[in-house]
Chains A and B, each alone.
Chain A
Amino acid sequence: MPEPLVSIGLRQAYGSREILKGLDFALSAGEWAGLVGANGAGKTTLFKTLAGLLKPDAGDVLYSGIPLLQRPVEAKRLFGMAMSPDELPLVLTGQQYFELIASARGVDRLGGAAEMLLAQFALDAERDKPMAICSFGTMKKIGIVGALIGTPSVLLLDEPFNGLDPTSGFALKRMLRDLVDAQACSVLMATHTVEMVATWCNLAILLIDGQLQPMISMQEWRESGRTSHEFEMWIMNQLLGTVSTAEISAG
């Protein structure tokens, strides 16, 4: 059974500046990976390349064994990507955007996860307004719900919690956990909240200067008795190389 998401030697450059320097990784079914990196490390470029919005200079992306570059329509049926507010079609209402996605994915209904999250996000009053007049947080929620329509096997979420209120953020965390555990959905999520990765994710992936560091199993980290604070310090050490082992031990 092929992995839901595989990146093979992904390279991406803007002019002479190389952003992604040959990324190899795979996400198994039922894994929730938190991607952590500094601003400008290449996280958003990676997401755009994984979603087919940018053509890689080299390498390929496979969704359940289907190459994105060669068979884009089939591959795009297998993942959902939360669009950021500036990428959403502002002339549409949230409901129209959902219908557009549902019809493109060939489903009659939004699907259990999307409908449930829609209710938990309390979007009923906002979903019939043009997105142009919606708040940033509402558009963020619409983008996230859109990614869940048809319950794809892979979710690509670039900083999904930015702009979400605490209750909506918690509802999303629980929903993702449920999708990962109950439906073996694979989630790749970029975030700056390291503690969230320590608490909720199965895997941590560090992207430093366009290169991936070895994946860290959060389950093993937690089972070893280490705390989320220690994880945060460890991440800082990786990103900055300035936090000493003594500081980590001191907690």
Chain B
Amino acid sequence: MAWISTWQWRLPAVQRGKGIVMVAGIFMLLIGALLARSEQAIWVMPVFALVFAHGLAYFLLRQEPAVSPAIRVLPLRFPTLAISLVRWPFVASAGGFVLFAALASFLGLFSIGPWLASAFGLLGFNLLAAACFLATTSRFEAGILYLVTVAAIATFAQSIGPLALAIMIGAILYLFARARRRHDA
């Protein structure tokens, strides 16, 4: 458990993968967009949304270090901080999603099982990390954000995938802006 907690704080030391994170995030968005256009979209979108949601929700949780006094007195710009904070959830989400998508495509198994396994596996992992994180700061706010986001996205995505995606992006932009305000306050 300790390493899960520490990488979310050791921000500057792990910036080397910044480019990989961004590429992985963009790749994941492209895959998601392509899948959403296919006939499989009716069940791919909810899973995609769920995987994406827990990555984003975890990103929201990980903004909490950005407002910690110990971080705010350090000479770090907020964008640097934010990129450092998002790198791992994006890698985990994109990696897990792409891995199972590739496997399902290769085997010709467009069954919902592997996708759900991917989604819930990552969700469980993130919950574990989140629980560790929640033990230290902003338990209530972070927990509510996490659960509401995942539940709302998973529910909406069942019928209106693109709208769910828009809500997610809206939520992330709002919370990103809020974290920046609090960091710069």
What residues make up the interface of A, taking CB atoms closer than 8 Å to B?
48, 51-55, 72-74, 76-77, 81, 83, 87-93, 96-97, 99-101, 103-105, 130, 132, 146
The reply to whether B75 and A53 form a contact with Cβ atoms under 8 Å apart is no
Question: Which positions in B face A, CB cutoff 8 Å?
Answer: 2, 5-6, 8-13, 65, 68-77, 132-133, 135-136, 184-185
Q: Is the CB of B9 within 8 A of A76?
A: no
Q: Which residue of B lies closest to A74 (CB)?
A: B75
B185 touches A76 (CB 8 A): no
Residues of A within 8 Å of B132, CB to CB, are 91
A54 to B182, CA, bound (A): 10
Contact B70 A91 (CB under 8 A): no
In the complex with contacts A52-B73, A74-B75, A90-B10 CB distance below 8 A: no
Decide yes or no: A99 and B73 within 8 Å by CB, A89-B136, A91-B132, A91-B133 being known contacts: no
In the assembled complex, the Cα of A92 lies from the Cα of B70 at a distance in Å of: 12
| A89 and B68 contacting across the interface, CB-CB below 8 Å | yes
- From B6, B73, B75, contact of A91 by CB (8 A): B6
Checking A88, A100, A105 against B75 with a beta-carbon cut-off of 8 angstroms, the contacting residue is A105
Residue of B73, B75, B135 with highest tally of chain A CB at under 10 A: B73
A-B pairs with the 9 shortest C-beta distances? A91-B5, A103-B12, A76-B75, A104-B74, A87-B69, A77-B75, A73-B75, A103-B13, A51-B73
Nearest CB of chain B from residue A90's CB, rounded to whole Å: 5
Contacts A48-B69, A87-B69, A146-B70 known; 4 new A-B pairs at CB < 8 A: A81-B73, A83-B73, A89-B65, A89-B136
Task: Determine the distance from Cα of A51 to Cα of B185 in the docked complex, in whole angstroms.
Answer: 11
Q: How far is the CB of B134 from chain A (nearest CB, A)?
A: 11
Contact partner of B2 among A76, A89, A97, A130, CB < 8 A? A130
Instruction: For A81, list chain B residues within 8 Å (CB).
Output: 73
- A132 and B74 contact, CB distance less than 8 A: no
The CA of A48 and the CA of B115, in the complex, are separated in Å by 48
